[in-house]
Amino acid sequence: MNRSRGVPLIIDGATYYTTAEAAERLGVAPGAVRDAIARGVLAYRTIAPRRNMVAEHALEDYRRDHLHRRGRPKGAKNKQEASRTADMPPAGHVAPCVRRWLRLLHRD
């Protein structure tokens, strides 16, 4: 594929960028773009063997839906913590093995 670097490819009226160019436009590393493609969260088009091109509209979709969103969604920590406390015994509860140990400890 002979084309000048930095000049986007236009196919059927859509603008396409290489993974390196897409990374530059998104402000991330080229590996991050390749990972997003591999995870299926960034749409691409294969132009030649080992040559993936990313459409401009796919970059905008990725920027809107996935970029800078890491970890759990908001509120997920609180939900997880609430479910964890629901599984805990009530306050003042002593596990049977601890109760046995305390009885042995305080035997006269």
CA dihedral over 67, 27, 25, 51, signed as positive or negative: negative
Those residues with Cβ within 8 angstroms of residue 36's Cβ, 6 or more apart along the chain or in another chain: 42, 62, 66
| Cα angle for residues 67, 3, 18 (degrees, 5° grid) | 15
User: Could you tell me the pTM of the whole model?
Assistant: 0.56
Written as tens digits, the pLDDT of the chain (108 aa) is 455 566 677 777 788 898 899 999 988 999 989 998 898 888 888 887 878 889 898 999 888 887 766 666 666 555 555 555 556 666 666 677 777 777 777 775
What token pair was written down for 36? 């997003």
Domain ranges in the chain are 1-70
